[in-house]
Amino acid sequence: MRRTVFVTGAGHGIGAATARAFAEIGDDVVVTDIDTGAAEAVADEIRRSGGVATAHTLDVSMTAHWTRLSDELRNAGRPPGVVVNNAFLHIPGQAHEMDDEQWNRQLDVTLSGVWRSIRTFHDTLTSARGSMVNVSSVHALLAWPGYPAYAAAKGGIVALTRQLSFDYAPHVRVNAVLPGSIETRVWDAASQAGREAAARQATLGRLGRPEEVAAVIRFLASEDASYVTGVALAVDGGQTTTVAT
Ligand SMILES: NC(=O)c1ccc[n+]([C@@H]2O[C@H](COP(=O)([O-])OP(=O)(O)OC[C@H]3O[C@@H](n4cnc5c(N)ncnc54)[C@H](O)[C@@H]3O)[C@@H](O)[C@H]2O)c1
C-alpha cells in the first residue's frame, strides 16, 4: 500500500536520496526543505521518473511552517505515515566562541526539528501504525574539533529517538541512523587529505554514498524492520568500530 513519506532537508544529499528511495518503491513523497528550489528539483525528478512527490518549503525550526504544511497535507488526504528527520545546521567553532544565537539556532534546527515533527504528526503516525527515522551522526559517539552544538544535537537525537520509541509504542516505531562520512556537498570544502583521513577511519576504506544511508532509512521504515524500534544504527563503513586514524 502506498504510504505518505515526509522527509525534511530533502533538497540535497542524504535527504534527496531518501526521497528518491521511497519513491522508487511507490510511496508518495513529501519533499520538504528550507531551500524551496532544491526541493522542487527533487520532486520534479521523481515525477519525471514516474514517481509521486510534491515539494514544500519547510524550515524545521519554524512551528508555523509545520502547522501550515500539516493542514495542507491533511486537507489533501495525505497524512504522513513515515517521517524522516534529516535537516541539520552546523556552525563551526569551539564552544567558547559561540554566541547565544549560533548555539540556539543549531539546536533548534537539528534537535528541536525532531520534536516539532512528532508534535505535528504523532496522530497520523499512530493511525498509520507508522514509523519515524531520525538522522543523527557518528558525532553522537565521537568528537572532532569544532562541533559542540552539532554533537550535542546529534547525541540528543539518539536519546530523543529512544524516548519517543517508548512513548509512542506500540503503534509507532522510532529509530535513528548514525551516518559516518558520506559524500554530499558537506564534503565539498574538505581537503584531499581530509577525505583520505575520513576514508582511512572507515574500516571499509572509503566514504559512503547518500544512497547507502537512504537504503537503511528505507529498511528501518519498512515491514522488514517490524520488530526494530529505539535503535541507533551506525551507517559508517565501520568508522565507530575502531580507533584507526
Ligand atoms: N554527509 C555526511 O558526512 C554526514 C555525516 C553524518 C551525519 N550527516 C547528517 O545527514 C543529514 C543530511 O546531511 P547531508 O550531508 O545530506 O547535507 P546536505 O547539506 O546535502 O543536506 C542538508 C539539507 O538540509 C536542508 N536544511 C538546512 N537547514 C534547514 C532547515 N532549517 N529546515 C529544513 N531544511 C534545512 C538543506 O537545505 C539541505 O537540503 C544531516 O542530518 C547531517 O547531520 C551527514
In this prediction, residue 1 carries a pLDDT of 85
From 8, 161, 184, give the residue whose CB has the most ligand 1 atoms within 8 Å, as the site to mutate: 184
Count the Cβ atoms, other than its own, within 10 Å of residue 38.
Answer: 19
In this prediction, residue 103 carries a pLDDT of 98
From 88, 206, 240, give the residue whose CB has the most ligand 1 atoms within 8 Å, as the site to mutate: 88
Residue 82 near residue 225 (C-beta atoms within 8 A): no
Cα distance between the two ends of the chain: 45
CA distance linking residue 16 with residue 40, whole number of Å: 11
CA distance linking residue 61 with residue 34, whole number of Å: 10
Residue 219 near residue 180 (C-beta atoms within 8 A): no
User: Ligand 1 centroid vs 235 CA: distance in angstroms?
Assistant: 15
Residue 10: name the closest of 109, 85, 115, 120 by CA.
Answer: 85
In this prediction, residue 244 carries a pLDDT of 67
Atom number of ligand 1 nearest to Cα 17: 16
In this prediction, residue 245 carries a pLDDT of 59
Q: Ligand 1: residues whose CB is within 6 Å?
A: 8-9, 11-15, 33-35, 38, 58-61, 86-89, 109, 135, 137, 179, 181-182, 184-186
- Collapsed DSSP state (helix, strand, coil) of residue 137: coil
User: Ligand 1 centroid vs 86 CA: distance in angstroms?
Assistant: 6
Residue 84 near residue 177 (C-beta atoms within 8 A): no
Q: Mean pLDDT per segment of 10 residues, for the chain of length 245 residues?
A: 97 99 98 98 98 98 98 98 98 97 98 98 98 98 96 98 98 98 96 95 97 99 98 98 80
Determine which helix (DSSP H) or strand (DSSP E) holds 85, and give its type and residue range: strand 82-85
Count how many Cα atoms sit within 13 Å of the Cα of residue 244 in the half-sphere of its side chain.
Answer: 16
Instruction: Sheet containing 131-135: give its strands across.
Output: 52-57, 28-33, 4-7, 82-85, 131-135, 173-179, 232-235
User: Ligand 1 centroid vs 88 CA: distance in angstroms?
Assistant: 5
- Collapsed DSSP state (helix, strand, coil) of residue 202: coil
- Collapsed DSSP state (helix, strand, coil) of residue 57: strand
Domains of the chain, with CATH numbers? 4-241 (3.40.50.720)
Cα–Cα separations (whole angstroms), residue 103 to 110, 143, 147: 11, 17, 11
